[in-house]
Chain A
């Protein structure tokens, strides 16, 4: 086992995602504390130009392969496993993102390395990992039993700025056997534009499953109109087809940073928090005083939203 900390670089359409810089920043802190080496693992085809943005790392291991031109769950899994196997790093950080969720568990099985998911904190010696579980209602601290561990990191857990360092780390090329792929990339489908761009709104009235039915949406819409804002929502509201995807805030929706984010009947699962925790003013209304959203809100109102909304609307 080496003293290396690996960060798997996530990029889409030529742009490195924030999660990568968040992990690089944390990885650097840990490497500095333990005298280890921070290594960025970059996969792609003709993507080595990105290495210049990975200056937080001491070294970039780059796998160039036509099969990696676009993200492919199977190809990425194989390539990451191959690079990890060849180097035996003590820690591999992978985003707990749509892409990372394809990779981390697979590499864990293929190489028989412990995997700790949903990390929102890691001690600098790597010995204690905090996972956010039960929809953000519980934290669990655990310690890996072997010398190596794969950790999937929840986006937004560490500051990206610490890892956003330009530079010219040394680039070591590696190859991986990507023959026999049974998954092929077909196309990227861009999101449809919506009537309102919620990322540009200063006031968002955001509804969650607590709204109970689409018949109750006008209540929130009226409040939004009176406040001069727009309606946004949590994922289940979109899955129920009550509002369009363009209104969804969170991990698989949009990241918003309004002046006011009024969360009505939203529990505050980590996937939702990712999308709104940087709002200037967060007010949460929820019947459950233990709802995780209150850990992130500036002001909390324990109340039935069907009593609260009319009360507030009546004053506007």
Chain B
């Protein structure tokens, strides 16, 4: 079985996000990037499937900041092949998906698994858009995958913990919400070794010719207007204030 896992780097939200000078995007100069956490889950599920029943896992990504490191980390975790698509900015999901579809069309695959969403996919989630460019079927918000022969059983999560189960034939593209296990951790030393022992195959993006279909006029920090009343001071002061509040509201 061949599994392809598209991954991407996204801004680390733990860091302060600054807006660029024309107010339409993040100031990307100092951004700290990290692997999209849902892509990490997709990779984990693919690796677990490989360990269960054998599979070749190919990790694929658009060229960009820190992407080599992310690809080598995937190899260190157990991915078999690394592919980097060059010559495309990937500023929109549609563009990224089209470039990936071009590259994937020539590859053999049964399942494509990628993160259900990312923090910056303003024009939609990659999995479904990629699926439709490839002419494949698709399920999003997937929390379980079992493959056998040419078919897969997938569990898809609705609200309130309700799960729907579908059976599908391959090839199929899945938007992974959560792997069955917490994504594995890989030490830096192992990533360095992977960097020496594995190669990243580069593929040109080919004819892309699509964009987000909308243009950004403004990026800004949300201000709901309401906002919290902030309680300052030491932890002790803050706890005192919260106690007062709870007794005022008749909670304690």
A residues apposed to B, CB below 8 Å: 12, 17, 70-74, 77, 97-99, 101-106, 108-110, 113-118, 128-129, 131-146, 149, 152, 182-192, 203, 227, 239-241, 245-246, 248, 251-255, 259-260, 267, 281-284, 288-290, 292, 294-304, 307-308, 310-312, 314-316
Contact = CB atoms under 8 A, between A and B. Distances in A.
Contacts of A114: 123, 212-214
A102 B138 contact: yes
29 contacts: A97-B158, A98-B140, A98-B158, A99-B158, A102-B140, A105-B93, A106-B129, A109-B129, A114-B212, A115-B94, A136-B222, A137-B13, A137-B222, A138-B220, A139-B219, A140-B122, A140-B218, A141-B217, A144-B213, A145-B214, A182-B172, A184-B166, A189-B163, A190-B162, A252-B141, A254-B160, A281-B245, A297-B228, A312-B242
Given A102-B138, A105-B132, A185 B166 contact: yes
Contacts of A104: 124, 128
A267 B13 contact: yes
A183 B175 CA distance: 15
A49 B57 CA distance: 47
Nearest to A151: B214
Interface of B: 11, 13-14, 16-17, 19, 26, 41, 93-94, 97, 116-117, 119-125, 128-129, 131-133, 137-141, 153, 155-169, 172, 175, 177-178, 182, 212-224, 226-232, 235-236, 238-240, 242-243, 245-246, 249, 251-252
B129 A132 contact: no
B129 A105 contact: yes
Contacts of B124: 104-105, 108, 115, 117, 152
A72 B166 contact: yes
A163 B62 CA distance: 42
B140 A73 contact: yes
Nearest to A304: B235
A190 B165 CA distance: 11
B140 to A, nearest CB: 4
A308 B238 CA distance: 8
B161 A295 contact: no
A134 B240 contact: no
A296 B224 CA distance: 8
